[in-house]
Structure formats: C-alpha cells, structure tokens
C-alpha cells in the first residue's frame, strides 16, 4: 500500500489531455502543456510505466455497430468469503459480454454491466451465473433504456464542493 506518486501540474494536464484525446500526437500534447516534445514524451512514458495510464482505447458506439441490449445486474452471493468472491470474479473475467463489474456495499454484492445481443441472451447468461456453482444467490436486472451520459473519463483534479456552476 504505497501512497500517491508525486504529480505536478504538468503531469495532471498530460493525463487530462490524453484521457480526452488518446490519439493526440506527442508534438501537439507537448505544445498544450508547454514542454518540448522530448520532455513531454518522457513524462508520458513515465506515467505509463507507473501504471497511471493503463491503456488507450477507441470508444465505440456499440449500439450502432450491431443490435445490443445492455443490462445492469445486481448480484447477491450466498457467501462472502474472500475465496468465493474471487471465484465469482474469475468467472466474470471469462465472459466477454460482462464488460464491467464492481463489488459494492449495500444490499447486493456486485453490480455488473452486460452487453448482450438480446434479452434472451441475458436470460441465459443469468441462468448460467445462477447455476454453475458460483455461489450466486440472486440477480436483479435493469435494462438500459438510454445512455444518458456515456463514460468519457473521470476528473483528474478534485473539486472540494459540488456545484452546478461547473
């Protein structure tokens, strides 16, 4: 459990810019953060090596690529022993349609996001999760009706108080 790496204003700016435009050229990035290209590239490589940048990805409009039903599942397990949690997580890792999974506090244990071709597929997937000795007690599901705010990144710098003024 080590602390936070020491990041100066330039590092944070680089992270913010790359999160917004992952394909910006190093030259343009260097200009935005007021650094020479070589110094900028060295910082980017350092941020990658430190694991603060985990990867670069194209964001796709999957619903326009093929028919899709996205479902959020609230999964409750029968047991909360660490080994059982890991077994369940390992199973999720093997299912490509489970695109995201979070262990959460509250009345259920995991919130999972599933991108399936139709509702039947989700039904079969839920059945599998309930049957295959994964210790799943129950699953409540919510179908995504509208992607009101697609994920585009988290704020790199924290505000102290929320506000609707920005």
Partner DNA sequence: CCTGAAATCCACTATTG
Partner DNA sequence: CAATAGTGGATTTCAGG
Q: Which residue has the tokens 């190093």?
A: 26
Q: Out of 20, 27, 93, 137, which residue is the one contacting DNA (CB under 7 A)?
A: 27
Q: Out of 5, 20, 26, 100, which residue is the one contacting DNA (CB under 7 A)?
A: 26
Residue closer to DNA, measured from CB, 28 or 130:
28
Residues paired with residue 73 on neighbouring β-strands, in sequence order: 112, 141
- State the Cα–Cα distance between residues 28 and 121, nearest whole angstrom: 44
Q: Does 119 bind its own copies (CB under 8 A)?
A: no
Two structure tokens written together for 27: 């030259």
Q: Which residue has the tokens 């200009």?
A: 31
Shortest distance in whole angstroms from residue 11 CB to DNA: 9
- State the Cα–Cα distance between residues 97 and 116, nearest whole angstrom: 6
Q: Which does 37 bind (CB under 5 to 8 A by kind): DNA, its own copies, none?
A: DNA
Two structure tokens written together for 130: 């309930």
State the virtual CA torsion across 90, 112, 138, 83 in degrees, nearest 10.
30
Residue closer to its own copies, measured from CB, 28 or 93:
93
Q: Is the dihedral of CA 31, 34, 40, 46 positive or negative?
A: negative
Q: Which does 69 bind (CB under 5 to 8 A by kind): DNA, its own copies, none?
A: none
Residue closer to DNA, measured from CB, 11 or 109:
11
Q: Which does 27 bind (CB under 5 to 8 A by kind): DNA, its own copies, none?
A: DNA
Task: Enumerate residues 39-78 that contact its own copies by CB under 8 A.
Answer: 50-62, 64-68, 70, 72
Binding site for DNA (CB under 7 A): 10, 25-28, 35-39, 41-43
């Amino acid at each position: 459990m080590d602390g936070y790496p020491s990041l100066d204003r330039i590092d944070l700016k680089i992270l913010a810019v790359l999160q917004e435009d992952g394909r910006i050229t190093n030259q343009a990035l260097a200009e935005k953060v007021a650094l020479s290209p070589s110094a900028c590239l060295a910082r980017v490589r350092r941020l990658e090596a430190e694991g603060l940048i985990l990867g670069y990805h194209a964001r796709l409009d999957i619903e326009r690529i093929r028919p899709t039903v996205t479902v959020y599942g609230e999964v409750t397990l029968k047991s909360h022993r660490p080994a059982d949690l890991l077994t369940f997580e390992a199973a999720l890792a093997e299912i490509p349609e489970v695109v995201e999974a979070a262990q959460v506090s509250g009345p259920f244990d995991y919130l999972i996001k599933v991108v399936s071709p139709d509702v039947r597929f989700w039904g079969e997937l839920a059945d599998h999760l309930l049957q295959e000795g994964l210790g799943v007690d129950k699953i409540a599901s919510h179908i995504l009706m509208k992607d009101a705010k697609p994920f585009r990144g988290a704020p790199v710098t924290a505000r102290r108080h929320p506000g609707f003024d920005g």
